[in-house]
Amino acid sequence: MRRSSVYDRKWILGGAYVAPQGTIVGTEAIIELPDGTYPAKLDDKGRLKLPVTFRRYFEKLSEKKLFVTSLDGRIGTIYPISVWRANRNVLENVTDDPQAADDVLLIANELGADTEVDAQGRVLIHPDLRRALGIENQPVKLVPIKGRIDVYSEPVYEERRRQAMEELQQKLLRLRSKGLK
């Protein structure tokens, strides 16, 4: 088991440490969210078949419960429940813009549901969320980021990719000046 040397950059979630880059650290082992973009598809019952790397990740978590939702009605998100608890806590304690926090929480709860990975490595996506994202019986892209897995329809992924490519050289220069290798 690997030990982290970045404990000063982690925060506690439900008994586990979570590094900003999405690594969940318990007292015994570091559980890293996989890297890469993965294709997937929902079946006719609204279940998302997870790639093996994500199944292994979720199997290693002490809490098996997930919260699957969208905060913006365009991009779905699969949260380990410890990460969602931290987000919910942030939203419930916002004092400078409580209406914005209430609105985001309302949409997250309307579109979301608690679930778990089933024995075949599938995650059930709430029907309202599937319709909002336009992903019923459609291919999707799974992108791990900051402790969560974003679920993109192909059109939204392509739009996001185009945005990411805009002025990419300037973005790289700025980030390299901050230490990116």
**Tens digits of per-residue pLDDT, 37-51?**
999 999 999 999 999
**Length of the chain counted residue by residue:** 181
Q: Examine residue 128 and state whether it is found in any structural domain, yes or no.
A: yes
pLDDT at 91 over 60: yes
Q: Examine residue 17 and state whether it is found in any structural domain, yes or no.
A: no
Q: Examine residue 159 and state whether it is found in any structural domain, yes or no.
A: no
Question: What are the tens digits of pLDDT across the range 132-179?
Answer: 999 998 999 999 999 999 999 999 999 999 999 999 999 999 999 999
Give the domain extent around 100: 33-153
Mean pLDDT of all residues belonging to the chain: 87
Q: Examine residue 161 and state whether it is found in any structural domain, yes or no.
A: no
Q: Examine residue 115 and state whether it is found in any structural domain, yes or no.
A: yes
**Pick from 123, 116, 114: nearest CA to 41:** 123
pLDDT at residue 32, rounded to an integer: 87
Contact predicate 163/156, CB 8 Å = no
pLDDT at residue 152, rounded to an integer: 98
pLDDT at residue 154, rounded to an integer: 97
Q: What is the b/e burial string over 15-38, where b = at least 16 CB atoms within 10 angstroms of the residue's CB?
A: ebbbbeebbbbeeeebbbbeeeeb
pLDDT at 31 over 90: no
Q: Give the three-class secondary structure for 125.
A: coil
Domain count, the chain: 1
Work out the angle at residue 41's Cα, subtended by the Cα atoms of residues 151 and 115, and round it to the nearest 5 degrees: 60
Distance CA 90, CA 108 (A): 13
Residue corresponding to tokens 């490519």: 165
pLDDT at residue 24, rounded to an integer: 56
Q: Give just the sign of the alpha carbon dihedral 69, 71, 72, 78.
A: negative
What is the rounded average pLDDT of the residues 114-142?
96
What is the rounded average pLDDT of the residues 6-10?
34
Question: What are the tens digits of pLDDT across the range 64-80?
Answer: 999 999 999 999 999 99
Q: What is the CATH number of the domain that holds 62?
A: 3.40.1550.20
pLDDT at 97 over 50: yes
